[in-house]
Amino acid sequence: MAGGLGVRLWPRSTEKQPKQFIHLLGEGTMIQNTVTRLLPLFPPEDIYIVASGDFSEFIIDQLPIIPSQNLIFEPYGKNTAPCLALVLTNIREKCGDDTIIAAFPSDHVIYNTREFHHSLETAINVAAERKGIVTIGITPTRPETGFGYIQVDDKTRDLKDFYNEGVRYTKTFAEKPDEDTAERFIQSGDFFWNSGIVVWRVDTFWKAFEKFLPEHDKMFKLLGKTIGKEMYPGALEDIYRQIQSISLDYGILEKAGNVFVVESSFNWSDLGTWDELYRLSMKDARNNVIAGDVVSINTSNCFVNSSKKMIGIVGVDNLIVIDSDDSVLICRRGHSGDIKELIDYMRRKQINHYL
């Protein structure tokens, strides 16, 4: 899933080239690194990319290994539930009801790849055998306010051997909490970070989609009748104008009863803010992260990243300074999540050419 805009990583992540198509950590762009992690388990012909058609050139250029017929484009973003329905509608004739589908955000950072693969294989086995919806939960290491959380039921119930493999039923899903709530989540011991990875059988998806999003389901059934026909682009545009934007978590996962979590501890990050990128980066002796053409004097605890301009920074502490072709961001560390408010303000004032 590669349709996000990554607004909290402005000014590098923009509406024209969002974060999944730029270099932040690792050797490639975020979407390239995501696909590289999957190749040991899935051949290129089994990997599909779904995104806005505006990003087609980036995807074709950065992922030549993916067959062109596996690129599925939305007219515009409507969040994750319609995004996945569109993919499964397009591949419905190619897949049997028992085909396992795994959905991955394209803009996350994952280390310990071997453990990631093990958790994914466990999730696939649960989805196949139990015909449920399976997510991967990450053991939290701090009270993070920028991630979603999943609460698990620690009772064995009917999980049998899967229980010993770290599989649990879910209790609740929680959006990004405030600091006090995040601390309570950590102290309780039964909350995990929500990785956004979901695994299920094709028939499990459609049953849940029809039950919990019946109006969306009707629309995508109509769209399915146009696949491969000249009327498909017009039908797709028409349906996307009508359907509600809704996330998979809110639309289905929070309501379904057959949702499982695979408890995992591989290093993972929803790399959504400059603060998170600072946390993951190597620091110098003064606890700075400096990249690009930068001169710093008497500066500490700062993240300064120059791509186009020489940046001089003197006598400051706890700042984030990021440049782009036509913009410079300056904010205090710990507040980069508030960049979304800046972007919303710029949109209201129609300063869109910087976004």
Count of CB atoms within 10 A of residue 57's CB? 11
The pLDDT assigned to 247 comes to 93
What pLDDT is recorded for position 176?
85
- Residue 321 near residue 336, CB atoms below 8 Å: no
Looking at residue 154, its pLDDT comes to 85
The tally of CA atoms less than 13 A away on the side-chain side of residue 177 is 21
Closest by CA position to 146, among listed 174, 171, 110, 105: 174
Encode the chain (355 residues) as per-residue pLDDT tens digits.
998 888 899 999 998 999 999 998 878 999 999 999 999 999 999 999 999 989 999 999 999 999 999 999 999 889 999 999 999 999 988 888 999 999 999 999 998 999 999 999 999 999 999 999 999 999 999 998 888 999 998 888 888 899 898 899 999 998 888 889 999 999 998 999 999 999 999 999 999 999 999 999 999 999 999 998 999 999 999 999 999 999 999 999 999 989 999 999 999 998 889 999 999 999 999 999 999 999 999 999 999 999 888 999 999 999 999 999 889 999 999 999 899 999 999 899 888 888 8
Please give the pLDDT value at position 351: 85
Q: Could you give the CA distance from residue 6 to residue 17 in angstroms, rounded to a whole number?
A: 9
Give the residue extent of every domain in the chain: 7-271, 275-354
3-state secondary structure string across 159-210: CCHHHHCCEEEEEEEECCCCHHHHHHHHHHCCEEEEEEEEEEEHHHHHHHHH
SS3 322: strand
Segment (H or E) for 51 = strand 49-52
Instruction: Quote the pLDDT of residue 145.
Output: 86
193 — phi, psi (to 5°)? -65, 140
Q: What are phi and psi of 328, to 5 degrees?
A: -135, 130
For CA atoms 216, 221, 222, 226, give the dihedral sign: positive
pTM: 0.91
What is the H or E stretch that residue 100 is in?
strand 100-103
Predicted pLDDT of residue 354: 85
| Residue whose tokens read 């992922």 | 63
Predicted local confidence at residue 160, as pLDDT:
87
Q: Which tokens belong to 130?
A: 């139990």
**Tokens encoding 26:** 């690792």
Give the C-alpha separation, 161 to 157, whole Å.
11
Alpha carbon distances (Å) from 289 to 85, 120, 318: 41, 33, 11
Residue 226 · residue 235 · CB < 8 Å = yes
Backbone CA torsion sign across 277, 306, 24, 12: positive
Residues 6+ away with beta carbon under 8 Å from 207: none
Closest by Cα among 101, 46, 98, 34 to 70: 46
| CATH H superfamily, domain 7-271 | Spore Coat Polysaccharide Biosynthesis Protein SpsA; Chain A (3.90.550.10)
Query: What are the C-alpha distances in Å from 346 to residues 40, 59, 238, 272?
Result: 43, 28, 29, 19
